[in-house]
């Protein structure tokens, strides 16, 4: 089999293997290299215009994990997984976000700021038109792209994960002091190793047939 085909086969195998794990082995810790890999996958996620209006908090403190679990329908993954990532969006998308991105673009691409004036005014026009609610929804969407990258990267490395939206955002924001940091929680991801007796992991994957979800027109 040509190399590219072997690779795609392996990727799909990993995607079939991955499950939203409910029961993690509490004593199986991800090592520093694995954590760095996952953090880098998050950092490399794409976002609309490249805004990156997000921050990813890796919560290690056991007391915090315990308190957060209470605000996450008591779900055990929050406490038992090796890593818990709270994927946050920024509170606001405004002039500061535009300036930050334009400066970073100038630096990274060695472009004079003057040459980015068109880009800057386009971004400013875009953010100015968004209501606070629309901006929040827009940033939440982008954070979910990062979640997808994280899940995909984890699966490729044989790391188990559970994406989690079942939590009280206000409660999380309060416990983690997110408002003071200019952030809001969007979604969670628990990461680690599945327990051998995770019943869910043993269940066949439930997916609609290809022709029910993909259409060529
Ligand atoms: C955004 C999002 C939120 C989710 N929230 C939870 C959650 O709070 N708790 C949980 O156990 N699973 C959660 N899941 C997992 C889904 O139920 C699971 O991905 C889906 O049933 C498909 O199963 P699979 O991921 O094992 O293939 C969530 C998944 C996504 C993508």
CA-nearest residue, atom 9 of ligand 1 = 164
Q: How far, in Å, CA of 80 to CA of 62, rounded?
A: 10
Any atom of ligand 1 within 6 Å of the Cβ of 53: no
Supply the Cα-derived Rg of the chain in whole angstroms.
19
Instruction: Assign residue 111 a region (left: φ > 0; alpha: ψ between -120 and 50; beta: otherwise).
Output: beta
What domains does the chain contain, in order, with CATH numbers?
3-93+130-196 (3.40.109.10)
Confidence at residue 4, expressed as pLDDT on a 0 to 100 scale: 77
Give CA 172 to chain center in angstroms: 16
Mean pLDDT of the chain: 96
Confidence at residue 1, expressed as pLDDT on a 0 to 100 scale: 57
- What backbone phi and psi angles, to 5 degrees, belong to 85? -105, 125
What pTM value is reported for the model? 0.97
When mean pLDDT is compared across 3-7, 19-23, 51-55, 108-112, the lowest value belongs to 3-7
Give CA 135 to chain center in angstroms: 18
Q: Is the pLDDT of residue 44 over 70?
A: yes
* Cβ contact 193:81 at 8 Å: no
Q: How far, in Å, CA of 209 to CA of 211, rounded?
A: 6
Confidence at residue 10, expressed as pLDDT on a 0 to 100 scale: 95
CA-nearest residue, atom 19 of ligand 1 = 20
CA-nearest residue, atom 21 of ligand 1 = 20
Any atom of ligand 1 within 6 Å of the Cβ of 19: yes
Any atom of ligand 1 within 6 Å of the Cβ of 25: no
Confidence at residue 200, expressed as pLDDT on a 0 to 100 scale: 87
| pLDDT per position as a tens digit, 110-141 | 999 999 999 999 999 999 999 999 999 999 99
């Amino acid at each position: 089999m040509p190399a590219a085909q072997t690779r795609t086969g392996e990727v799909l195998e990993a995607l079939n293997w991955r499950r939203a794990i409910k029961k993690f082995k509490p004593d199986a810790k991800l090592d520093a290299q694995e954590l760095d890999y996952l953090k880098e996958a998050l950092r490399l996620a794409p976002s609309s215009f490249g805004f990156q209006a997000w921050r990813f908090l890796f919560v290690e403190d056991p007391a915090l994990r315990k308190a957060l679990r209470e605000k996450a329908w008591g779900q055990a993954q929050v406490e038992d997984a090796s890593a818990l990532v709270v994927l946050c969006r920024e509170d606001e998308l405004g002039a500061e976000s535009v300036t930050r991105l334009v400066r970073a673009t100038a630096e990274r691409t060695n472009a004079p700021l003057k040459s980015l004036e068109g880009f800057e005014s386009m971004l400013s026009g875009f953010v100015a038109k968004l209501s606070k609610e629309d901006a929040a929804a827009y940033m939440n969407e982008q954070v979910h792209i990062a979640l997808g990258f994280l899940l995909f990267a984890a699966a490729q490395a044989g790391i188990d994960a559970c994406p989690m939206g079942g939590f009280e955002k206000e409660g999380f924001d309060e416990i983690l002091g997110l408002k003071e940091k200019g952030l809001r929680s969007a979604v969670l991801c628990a990461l680690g190793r599945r327990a051998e007796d995770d019943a869910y992991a043993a269940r066949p994957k439930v997916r609609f047939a290809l022709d029910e979800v993909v259409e060529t027109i």
